[in-house]
A and B are shown apart, each in its own frame.
Chain A
Amino acid sequence: MAKDHRAGSKVRGDKLPAILMASHLLEGDTVFLGDSGWTMDPTAAKIAHDAETAAVMEAEGKAAAAANTVIDPYLVPVDLTDHGLPVARHFRDAMRQKGPSIHPDMGKQAEFTPLD
């Protein structure tokens, strides 16, 4: 079976800070690991500033995938805005944080406070 996904972030070099992104099994929506469980809100994503935290978050993602809550969790390297909000460094991950560029009325950008 062909893969229908390009899983993982494509960012080269420094991988921190980072957030953890996945797809919600039931809804299909992109979700982020927050301080207390998974959230649809990109501004509520928990940020790993060091490798240890990132590793813990990644393990939490794998456990959630094994528990059939999410699919394909992966760490996403981000830059922080002046307000400390995480913006994905790669344009593909940034598209998942916002929603389709051709439909500003759909996806996260329509439902949550913008990241930048």
Chain B
Amino acid sequence: MYRYDEFDERFVRERVAQFRGQVERRLDGSLSEDEFKPLRLKNGLYLQLHAYMLRIAVPYGTLNSRQLRMLAHIAETYDKGYGHFTTRQNLQFNWPKLKDVPDILGLLADVEMHCIQTSGNCIRNVTSDQFAGVAKDEVEDPRPTAELIRQWSSLHPEFVWLPRKFKIAVTGAEHDRAAIKVHDIGLKLKRNDQGEVGYEVIVGGGLGRTPMIGKVVREFLPKDELLAYLEAVMRVYNSEGRRDNKFKARVKILVHETGEEEFRARVEEEYAKLDGPTINAPEEEVERIAAYFAAPTYEDLPETSQVLEQARAIDPELDRFVAQNSFEHKQPGYIALTIALKEIGAVPGDMSADQMRAFADIAEKYSFDEFRVTHSQNLVLPHVRKDDLPAVHAALKAAGLASANAGLITDIIACPGLDYCALATAKSIPIAQAIAKTFADQERQKAIGELPIKISGCINACGHHHVGAIGILGLEKGGRENYQITVGGDATEHASLGERLGPGIDAEDVPAAIEAIVETYLAEKTGEESFIETVRRTGAEPFKAGFAAFIESRTAQHEAAE
């Protein structure tokens, strides 16, 4: 894991002191709310429906046990005993008091954490593949790249007041788990024909009210040219991105309005003008960063673990958990394990302080003191010995963290929605809970297979509904909450946006509508096709027909009841 050097440490401490001064000036009235708001947002502090909300950066989703124990301490001391993992691999506290926030930031600095650039029109926390350094299909670990971008973008003087927020994701694997095609910039580590490592650079993807799939602006960028090229993209965006209308200010709109080829030409023109060597990181700095992400000292183990096989044979619960939540590790005898924060009926992404402490112990003991946050609001233990799996499962189970539903229909992404968020137009979490309860039966979930459902409580799409195999968008219609349903969205290398099935429906009808959609899938699927594969083959038509039939029968029921 990356460790702060003296510059990082000083920078974060200075920022805490600055914010402490800003809060004092706000409280004594020297700063008005209009003056203070941009400052608090730059430090991740929002004001929501019931309270302030503090968003803590988790760079590329990597944490250790010491950090998680501190988060547990903060949750108990300054909040209501829990935290919420987000779709940007960050953590939010929902109830901090303004007067306590400087102290919270100080405690975070003690464990090399901060809230900088988790809000505002700057380059936000860089996200990555949760199986970085673990996946077999990886060209190179994406985390050194993500860390390099973090350092380059932190308070970069040219890019602290962009037209709008800016999100970068990096993957090093063939299979995209970081949703790089729906980010402002997506980077994919790849090899060219000569075997050299570089990046495919994708620009202009995004969700929100105008969802777009990103465009490849460079097929292959030599690895050592990364920062200068990113700077060229940012300069074109910073000077030409729209500032007159916040709904048209993201780089996706600029790429769309300029045209892909013209945008590419402008970036290359800007790039040619830049003095690359003064911008790109020196080789020794890149190596210094990469050294922090060296693989841990694995034991030499056989691929198959007799201990695990025997335990699975007598414990069906363990067997199901391992079958569903484990991910193949490149090191023989190890696996990566997904911990789904998706117990049936729980709030997606929530974790109590007690669970944090228990999980910190598990990560420390069984996974080289490291774990990851996924953009699906789950956690990952990246390096678990297969021999240890029965013990890990028992410890997770004791902490209420052994939900065996990773990737299944009950592993739902949901934004906080109207339960907390000041921007939301409808509730999101209760919809996720109702769907999870409807499909609680494990055999039924298994029969349906992989099916990512993603729910947003407003058009800003924090719940990524556009790229859910089933997407749900909550809006307000005629003074009521109303939910639109899409199918066919995909956040992977096959990125696609979901297609709407029909008119919006009431909250109480959503679980039955999802059942109708699942019935259509089960009727249409051939062989071992997953839900998204079936939609890709059939198109949305059969699902629209099934949905229309559902609406018709529901209307008839309502009329009969009246």
Chain A contacts to B: CB under 8 angstroms? 1-2, 4-6, 10-12, 23, 25-30, 65, 67-68, 71-72, 90-92, 95-96, 99-103, 106-107
Contacts and interface: CB of A to CB of B under 8 A. Distances in A.
B423 A25 contact: no
Nearest to B416: A100
B288 interface: no
A101 B427 contact: yes
Interface string B143-166: 000000000000000000000110
Given A101-B419, A101-B427, A102-B433, A95 B49 contact: yes
Interface stretch (B25-33, B295-303, B436-444): B25-33
Contacts of A1: 37-38, 41, 120-121
Given A28-B47, A71-B47, A100-B50, A6 B423 contact: yes
Name the residue among A23, A27, A102 with the largest chain B CB count within 10 angstroms: A102
Contact of B98 (A2, A11, A27): A27
Name the residue among B33, B164, B427, B429 with the largest chain A CB count within 10 angstroms: B33
Nearest to B40: A4
A25 B37 CA distance: 12
Contacts of B47: 4-5, 23, 28, 71-72
B479 interface: yes
Interface in B479-518: 479-481
Contacts of A102: 347, 419, 429-430, 433
Contacts of A27: 51, 97-98
Nearest to A90: B479
B52 interface: yes
B423 A5 contact: yes
Given A4-B47, A28-B52, A68-B27, A92 B418 contact: yes
Nearest to A66: B32
B291 interface: no
A73 to B, nearest CB: 11
A107 B80 CA distance: 10
Contact of A95 (B41, B97, B121, B418): B418
Interface in B120-135: 120-121
Name the residue among B38, B95, B481 with the largest chain A CB count within 10 angstroms: B95
A26 B27 contact: yes
Contacts of B387: none
Contact of A65 (B33, B52, B120, B347): B33
A93 to B, nearest CB: 9
A95 to B, nearest CB: 6
Interface string B37-63: 110010000110111100000000000
A56 B513 CA distance: 48
A6 B425 CA distance: 9
B433 A30 contact: no
A23 B120 CA distance: 21
Nearest to B39: A1
B369 interface: no
B102 interface: no
A99 to B, nearest CB: 6
B99 interface: yes
Nearest to A89: B479
A101 B430 contact: yes
B235 to A, nearest CB: 21
B50 A30 contact: yes
Contacts of B38: 1
The 9 closest A-B pairs by CB, nearest first: A28-B52, A100-B419, A28-B51, A1-B38, A5-B422, A68-B29, A4-B46, A102-B429, A102-B419
Interface string B404-439: 000000000000001110111001011001000000
B76 interface: no
A67 B33 CA distance: 10
B164 A2 contact: yes
Nearest to A98: B50
Given A5-B47, A91-B481, A96-B49, 10 more contacts: A4-B37, A4-B119, A27-B51, A28-B96, A28-B97, A30-B50, A68-B27, A91-B479, A99-B50, A102-B419
Interface in B7-43: 26-27, 29, 32-33, 37-38, 41
A89 to B, nearest CB: 8
Interface string B80-119: 1000000000000001111100000000000000000001
B206 to A, nearest CB: 14
A4 B476 CA distance: 18
Nearest to A12: B479
A10 B476 contact: yes
Contacts of A95: 49, 418-419
